[in-house]
Structures are given as C-alpha cells and as structure tokens.
Amino acid sequence: MEMSELKHKYTHYVGVKFHYSNHAYCFGVKDIDLKVGDKVIVETVHGLELGEIFFAPIDIEQYHSSLDLRPVTRRAVESDIRLNDTNIQDAKIALEICKNEVNNLHLDMNLISSEYVLDRSKIIFSYVADERVDFRELLKALASKLHTRIELRQIGSRDKAKMIGGLGMCGLPLCCSTFLNEFDGISINRAKNQMLAINIPKLSGHCGKLLCCLKYEDDAYSEAKKEFPPIGYKIFIDKVEYEVTSINVVSKMIKIDNPEDTKFISLEEFVKITHFRPKREEKINNEKN
C-alpha cells in the first residue's frame, strides 16, 4: 500500500499483541485515542480478533514496512472480553477433540494450536506435516462435533517455532517469536563468511533451520574483512616466506604459516611488515582519483 493511501485511511498505527503470541503486529487507526493496555477488536486475515495495544499510536508517516496495514475496528467492550476468554478455553477442548480424531484416522500430522475467531464463525487448527495430508474425513468428523467452519492450516517448522517460542542459545527469547516479521533465506555461506565452524547442529535453531541471527552480523563481517589480506596471501618475515591461513576480525589477529613455523600477528603489525593496503582504502583512493 502506497503512503498516500495509508494517509488517506489512517492517521496513526499501533502495535497489537494477541494472547497466543509474544509478537506485536501493526494495525492502522484513524482518530482513535488509544493507550498501551487497551483492548481492541482488529481485522486480521482470519477475521475479527481481540488484542491488546502493545505500543502507543505512532504517526503514519513513520510506517516504513512493506506489509499491508489492516484496521483497528473499535475498542473492545466487556462482552467481547468475556467471549474471547470463553473462546480460548473452548479452543483448548477443540484441540483435544481434533487430536483424538487425528489419532483415530491415523493421519500423519502434528497439531500445534487451535483458535476461534471472535464471533466463533470459524476455528483454525495449525499443524505441521512432512507430507500432504488428506483430511477430508477429519473435516467431516470435526464439523459434526464442533458445529462451525473448520480451517486446517499447515505451517512450516519456522512458523511452529514462532508460535511455540522458547529461548535461543543466547539466553534470550527467540527472535522469530518476538520481533521478526518475515523469514529470510539463510545460506550456509553466511556462516562461512563469518568463519564459523560448519557444524550444522550448532548453527541450527529450534526450527531445525539455520539460525536467523547469522544474518545480523554478516554485513559487519563483510565490511571488516576488507581490512584484512585474503587467505593464501604470501609475506616474508626475516626472508622466510609465510602464508596467511586464517584471520580473526574481532581480535584483529592474523595467522600465518609455513611448513616449519606458525605465527599469530596483529593486523597493525602485518600492515607495517607488508605495507598491505586494505580494499577499503583502495576503493577510497580510486574514488578520489
């Protein structure tokens, strides 16, 4: 949605959290005075849902995401809150019913969650499965017991981790369950660029995929490595030839080897010995010329 369209529809945007997620989602508002903690009814892709304001209204001019903004419909009233509480409890019962039917039908699917939309016109079951599942019989069984529209939504392993949450190896809540809106493709080349040991289990997150945090420092590593010589670079110290075999951009140390000796020298010392010119300086000099 273009900014001109956003300004026409909304004056501000707010963050809204739902009971099933630690992540705040953005919604547009127009001339509604809202504060943190207020309960609101919002329009999501699934229908009307009840959420809580997580951060106060921000001028729509500050919204720079490519994601479309859906509206905050209105403030929630007491009857909305009571209905939402009932829906949460009933959804837990429905999930157990669904699990029993899945077991009875011997379906290869792992149920993750169930949620009623606010008006109970639909219940959504999220599941993970390795293969495509034929759930026609499951739909019939659930419809006869739950008496509402049934939606079965297959999610990926990253979405599962986002919904369930947990702690990462850093000790903090998972990025995907707190602030990540989109999942970027993470290549093993990022780990190689950061000179990490290619140990897939240690480089994988709760979802089994490569850690999303591999992308956070990748650009910084790429920039920092411009100050260092490439692997295989030859230098002479006291007329003895050495080859650069490893670098450490954090400590700014360089490992040099030959068949008889191994040395660790600082980047500063390396430059003094070799008069090596970093790529960054070469680029600046070329631009000046």
Q: Which domains does the chain have, with CATH numbers?
A: 3-76 (no CATH), 82-155 (3.30.300.20), 160-216 (no CATH), 224-288 (2.30.30)
pTM, rounded to two decimals: 0.65
Q: What is the pLDDT of residue 6?
A: 62
Q: What is the pLDDT of residue 95?
A: 95
Q: What is the pLDDT of residue 5?
A: 62
Q: What is the pLDDT of residue 173?
A: 81
Q: What is the pLDDT of residue 138?
A: 92
Match 């670098």 to its residue by tokens. Answer: 247
pLDDT tens profile 39-72:
999 988 888 899 999 988 888 888 887 778 888 8
Mean pLDDT of all residues in 131-141: 89
Rounded CA-CA distance 125/115 in Å is 7
Q: Given strand 261-266, what is the order of strands in its sheet? A: 234-237, 240-248, 253-258, 261-266
Q: What is the pLDDT of residue 41?
A: 92
Rounded CA-CA distance 60/32 in Å is 13
Instruction: Kindly indicate the confidence band of residue 288, based on its pLDDT and cuts at 50, 70 and 90.
Output: very low
Instruction: Kindly indicate the confidence band of residue 100, based on its pLDDT and cuts at 50, 70 and 90.
Output: very high
Q: What is the pLDDT of residue 286?
A: 45
Beta-carbon contacts of residue 189 (< 8 Å; ≥ 6 apart): none
Query: Whole-number mean pLDDT of the chain?
Result: 84
Could you tell me the sign of the dihedral formed by the alpha carbons of 34, 36, 38, 41, in that order? positive
CB atoms within 10 A of CB 42: 22
Stretch among 1-10, 94-103, 201-210, 279-288 having the lowest mean pLDDT: 279-288
Mean pLDDT of all residues in 21-40: 83
30 touches 50 (CB < 8 A): no
Residue that wins the pLDDT comparison between 152 and 279: 152
Beta strands of 117-214 (E only): which ranges? 122-128, 149-154
* pLDDT of 233 higher than 70: yes
Q: How many Å is the maximal CA-CA distance in the chain?
A: 86
* pLDDT of 281 higher than 80: no
Through-space distance between the first and last CA atoms of the chain, rounded to whole angstroms: 43
